[in-house]
Amino acid sequence: MTRQRGEVVVETRDLCMHFGGVRAVDQVDFTLFDRELRCLIGPNGAGKSTFFKCLTGQLTPTSGDVIIRGQEMTAAEPFEVASLGVGIKTQVPNVFDGLTVEENIWLSARRWHGDSRARSLTAATIERLRLGDIRRTLVGQLAHGQRQWVELGMVVAAEPWLVLLDEPAAGMTHEETYRTVELIEEINKTSALIVVEHDMQFIRMISRTVTLFHEGRILMQDTMEAISADPRAREVYLGHRA
Amino acid sequence: MLRQMRPTLVYALLGIVFMFAAPHVLQLFTIINLTTAIALAILALSLALIWGYGGILCFGQVAFFGLGAYVYTISAINIGGSTWAILIAVLLTSAFAAALGYFIFFGRVSDVYLGVITLTVTLIFFSLIRRTSGPEYKIGKALLGGFNGVSSPPINLPWDARTFLFPEQVFYVAMAALILCYVFVGWLVNTKFGRVCVSIRENELRSELLGYDVRLYKLGIFTIGAGIAAVGGVMFCNGVGRITPDVFNLYNAALTIIWVIVGGRGTLIGPIGATFALFYLTSALGGQSVLNNNLVLGVILIVFVLLVPKGVAPTVIDWVNRRRRKRPVRSRRRRRGRAEDAR
Ligand SMILES: Nc1ncnc2c1ncn2[C@@H]1O[C@H](COP(=O)(O)OP(=O)(O)O)[C@@H](O)[C@H]1O
Ligand SMILES: [Mg+2]
């Protein structure tokens, strides 16, 4: 059911993240292959973001392992995960509000390259994401959707081989959402992706293997069509929205 | 880089002109007083760096200033010359800050506790050194002298311990130190290191998610800031002629913060200017007895926090930019972005 394209790049084994009595993530075994595009869905509070934070080092799991490209990353700091070449976008936009769009993106490119290469990569990224008109605007003055794009720009400018996006289309207009889907497809030509999303329209547009979270566990993992047709999935998730 | 450095270099040039003109125009008494103000301006510059650019609100920046002054004084007495003493003062103070910073940043201590810890360290120095009156408290040849402090040997020519500098010459040295530190910091905040520090100030998690080890950058800027404060301390005890534990008191710790608030975070020239302005305001107030000094400073602080929260320099820059924006398109130039940060 998963399209296997070579090596496993992300793996969790028996991953648990408990907050007191709340089992936000519980015994999750997860595998992502190279160049795969995977969507994580599930109702609010299902544990998607918590799982995401365990992958990115923002949370240290209660138990279990996170392995990225063969490296044990369970207790790693976020910068160590990012330093493997992983691009990360959080659910709540994290951008540098007091700096310009250009410098936000430059800071990402500069992590990996010298000054002149970083600058040309910044220019290319700004062009690619069509941020040219606002390149010198402070990010704090932008609308929510544009800030999301700046954050996507930072992810892209680092040229990551693995991209982790938590609700990238939240708060975007229909047009922006559509372009985000295009961008994700484009990123997927060279990188593996995990996209956490709540919005079903969005997931249908991407339409790949979908992992359905429910109460901290993986309930199903299949194509979107199969999940849409499954009564259990309808009950926990689709039922809420229908 | 040169474009971003331009305002810094312009101010540095003005500083050089002032440095050579002042001794011809001003009285010796004023020059000696100025040396003290310059030393304090270096302290303000160091906090402008780590707070204004690094986002680290250190309540005890004056601890590094005082430590630098004490280490200089004690080393100069023991060595019998100032050249090594200055180096030792800056390096030892930086090393102390690095050790303290290691526990703070690698222990991921929160911002509030960072303020508390640094202030506590300052007050510990204050009470410890106050208690060192008596012949048993000495380091090598230097008596610590308790609350009376130690008198500081003046700076001598490099590697020539017998030719001491006169007060005017110490003024030149202090002014040169301020200008060099200012240009250095102005350059630093435009390097990759500086920009990453600014990004950490803006959003620590994002910097981390870009792959920067935030702890290391914070430790770096904190240590450099302490080294600069130590330079200020060395100039201070030269200007005053002695160093006492009062340098570590709460008043001085608060004053440093006030300079940066009044001058403006995110600029360098602002806090430097504010230091001179407040220094002369307090000396002027010292000559009268109608208004209490602390009361006036307190009122200034409240006025700024409420009415000019960004501080003088950023407010002026905003105002100038807004005026320029209203002018015809022809005179518009690229002005937003990094250049604003570089002043
Ligand atoms: N830091 C935390 N402390 C306590 N409970 C938390 C914390 N973070 C998340 N939770 C709980 O974990 C569950 C999963 O949350 P989350 O991962 O944000 O869900 P999702 O992203 O799928 O909407 C929720 O019940 C939430 O209240
Ligand atoms: Mg979430």
pLDDT in tens, A86-128: 999 999 999 999 999 999 999 999 999 999 999 999 999 999 9
pLDDT at B327: 64
- What confidence tens digit (pLDDT) does each residue in B261-290 have? 999 999 999 999 999 999 998 888 877 777
- Complex ipTM value: 0.93
Same domain, yes or no: A65 and A128: no
Same domain, A119 and A155: yes
Q: Which of B203, B209, B336 sits opposite A100 (nearest CB)?
A: B336
Is A182 a domain residue? no
Tally of domains in chain B: 1
Measured in angstroms, the CA of A160 and the nearest CA of chain B are apart by: 10
Residue nearest to atom 3 of ligand 1 (CA): A19
**pTM value?**
0.92
Closest CA relative to residue A149, chosen from A178, A120, A192, A121: A178
Angle between helices A115-128 and A101-110 (to 10 degrees): 130
Instruction: Determine, yes or no, domain membership for B1.
Output: no
- Decide if pLDDT at B295 tops 60: yes
**Same domain, residue pair A114 and A233:** no
Domains: count for chain A: 2
Q: Which one of A53, A89, A107 would you mutate to disrupt binding with B, by most B Cβ within 10 Å of its Cβ?
A: A107
Which single residue is written with the structure tokens 């100038």? B320
Residues of A at the B interface (Cβ-Cβ below 8 Å)? 56, 58, 77-79, 82-83, 88, 90, 94-100, 102-103, 106-108, 110-112, 115, 136-138, 154, 158
Nearest CA to ligand 1 atom 7: A19
Please give the radius of gyration of chain A, using alpha carbons only, rounded to the nearest integer: 18
Does A154 have pLDDT greater than 70? yes
Domain that residue A151 falls in: 91-159
Is B337–A100 a contact, with Cβ atoms under 8 angstroms apart? yes
DSSP code of residue B247: G
Stretch among A2-6, A117-121, B30-34, B269-273 having the lowest mean pLDDT: A2-6
Q: Are residues A116 and A155 in the same domain?
A: yes
Residue of B nearest to A80 (CA): B211
Residue A7 belongs to a domain: yes
The pLDDT value recorded for residue A5 is 57
Is pLDDT larger for residue A181 or for residue A3?
Answer: A181
**Do strands B138-139 and B142-143 pair parallel, antiparallel, or not at all (unpaired)?**
antiparallel
How many residues are listed for chain B in this entry? 343
Q: What is the mean pLDDT of residues A221-231?
A: 86
Local confidence band at B301 (pLDDT 50, 70, 90 cut-offs): confident
Supply the pLDDT for residue A240: 53
The answer on A154 and A234 residing in a single domain is: no
Element of type H or E holding A179: helix A174-187
For B191-234, the pLDDT digits (tens) are: 999 999 999 999 999 999 999 999 999 999 999 999 999 999 99
* Cβ atoms of A18 and A62 closer than 8 Å: yes
Residue at B252: amino acid letter:
N
Residue-wise pLDDT tens digits, B152-172: 999 888 877 788 888 889 999
Q: Which residue has the higher pLDDT, B68 or B146?
A: B68
User: By residue range, what is the domain housing residue B182?
Assistant: 6-333
Report chain B's mean pLDDT, rounded to a whole number. 90
Q: What is the pLDDT of residue A242?
A: 40
- Is the same domain home to A197 and A141? no
- Give alpha helix (H) positions in chain B: 2-25, 28-47, 61-79, 83-106, 111-130, 167-188, 192-202, 204-209, 214-240, 250-263, 269-286, 293-307, 312-326, 338-341
CB-CB contact of B267 with B45 (8 Å): no
- CB-nearest to A79 from B213, B266, B334 is B213
Ligand 1, atom 5, lies closest to the CA of A19
Residues in the 5 Å CB sphere of ion ligand 2: A 49, 91
- Ligand 1 contacts (CB < 6 A) are A 19, 22, 24, 42, 44-50
Residue A222, helix vs strand vs coil: strand
Q: Is residue A181 part of a domain?
A: no
User: Which of B208, B334, B338 minimises the CB distance to A79?
Assistant: B208
CATH number of the domain that residue B46 is part of: 1.10.3470
- Give the integer Cα–Cα distance in Å for A219 and A28: 10
Question: What CATH number should be reported for the domain holding residue A58?
Answer: 3.40.50.300
> Does residue B222 sit within a domain?
yes
- Residues of chain B with a CB closer than 8 angstroms to some CB in chain A: 192, 195-196, 198-199, 201-203, 205-214, 266, 334, 336-338
Q: Which two tokens stand for residue A109?
A: 């490119």
Amino acid (1-letter code) at residue A228: S
Out of A136, A137, A158, the one facing B210 most closely (by C-beta) is A158
Q: Same domain for A57 and A134?
A: no
